[in-house]
């Protein structure tokens, strides 16, 4: 089962209908009564540093990674001036 390690978001099942019951103002004609079925929704997971994050937590994890591990440019030692 796919689960975000940060927030715990996981696959859920919900009721799903093709169209509204009794739409078009017909007062519930038989052909307008759609069956309700179960449908599963999975979170949009991404792998980052060997862990799985949902889209919202991925942005936070990348921002946290930037702050804790800054990439510094290669610095060259400055020549000292002897006076």
User: Three-state secondary structure along 14-57?
Assistant: EEEECCCCCHHHCCCCHHHCCCEEEEEECCCEEEECCEEEEHHH
Boundaries of domain holding 24: 12-67
Count structural domains, the chain: 1
List pLDDT tens digits, range 21-77. 555 555 555 555 667 788 999 999 999 999 999 999 999 999 998 888 776 666 666
Instruction: Evaluate whether residue 78 is within a structural domain.
Output: no
Would 63 be classed as within a structural domain?
A: yes
User: Is residue 24 situated within a structural domain?
Assistant: yes
Residue 79 within a domain: no
In a domain, 42, yes or no: yes
User: pLDDT tens, 2-17?
Assistant: 899 999 999 999 887 7
Asked if the structure places residue 82 within a domain, the reply is no
Q: What's this model's pTM, rounded to 2 decimal places?
A: 0.58
């Amino acid at each position: 089962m796919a689960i975000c390690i940060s927030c715990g978001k996981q696959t859920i099942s919900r009721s799903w209908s093709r169209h509204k019951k009794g739409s078009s103002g017909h007062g519930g004609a038989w052909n307008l009564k759609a069956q309700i079925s179960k449908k599963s929704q999975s979170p949009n997971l991404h792998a980052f540093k060997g862990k799985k994050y949902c889209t919202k937590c991925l942005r936070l994890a990348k921002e946290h990674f930037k702050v804790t591990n800054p990439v510094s440019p290669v610095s060259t030692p400055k020549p000292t001036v002897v006076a």
